Amino acid sequence: MTRTPGFAALSLAAALLAALAALAQTPIGSLSSGGITIEGTVTDVFGNRFVVQDSTGRVLVEAGPERHHRLDIRPGERLRITGRPDKGGFDAFTIRRENGTEIFIRPPYGPPPWSGGGRRSERDADGSPRVSGMITPEAVLRAVAAAGYRAERAPQLERRHYEVVAINPRGERVKLHVDFEGRIYRETWDRGRGFGGRPTETDARRAAEAAGYTLTGPLVPHPRHYEALAKAPDGREVRLHLHAEGIRRVEDLR
């Protein structure tokens, strides 16, 4: 059967409409449906990472490392962003501002322009990111919440990152490593051993005294606990292992 020019034109128009529908704006709360264009207001900025919110939810947008380019996104801006959902956030390809200016971030296919060994150079040998400025604990909590996690306690500052014990979007208890720019780069599952951090000195002393021990030496700090010499209620000389949840181990020194 021979198709008429009018039929071909209608087919082309239908194809164009289908393509435009695929690029239609998607509510942030429905990112799992596969939409690639979002629009919303910026609420928090962490360098080239920022939180965008609309009436359905909020999401952390990744717009490439600052070593490649430095954006000047500001809270309160309304942006239209094309990209794709990625690991609880949104990987941006282009950003359109209210004045019509469009910022190109990366192509939708293939490696980003900043790839090719640079990522490795940003990290120490242990995999921790190098310090390039430090965000506040409050900003860490906002970044964690924007990625869909519910923090259980305040962020704990480590040498190269923050650690946050949280519940992930699947309801699992995890420990997050968050770099000083607000990026979550490691998630460790609780396998039943807990994530108790080291207590404060005051809490460690209080735990020992509440159990009837008298400290006879200084508190010696370890990564997750204190150790201290003490006298037990029955007069024994012991070494206590003081964790956030209390005394985990008592060593008899006799």
Q: Tokens standing for 118?
A: 């640079």
* CATH dotted code for 14-104: 2.40.50.200
CA 67 vs CA 62, 64, 118: distances in Å: 14, 9, 9
Q: For the chain, what are the domain ranges?
A: 14-104, 125-189, 201-252
User: What top-level class would CATH report for the domain 125-189?
Assistant: alpha beta
Query: What is the reported pLDDT for 23?
Result: 47
- Residues 55-105 have pLDDT tens digits of 988 899 999 888 777 888 999 999 999 888 877 789 898 899 988 888 888
Greatest distance between any 2 Cα atoms in the chain: 104
Minimal CA–CA distance to 133: which of 55, 47, 65, 16?
A: 47
- Residues 113-155 have pLDDT tens digits of 776 433 333 444 444 444 444 678 888 898 899 888 998 888 8
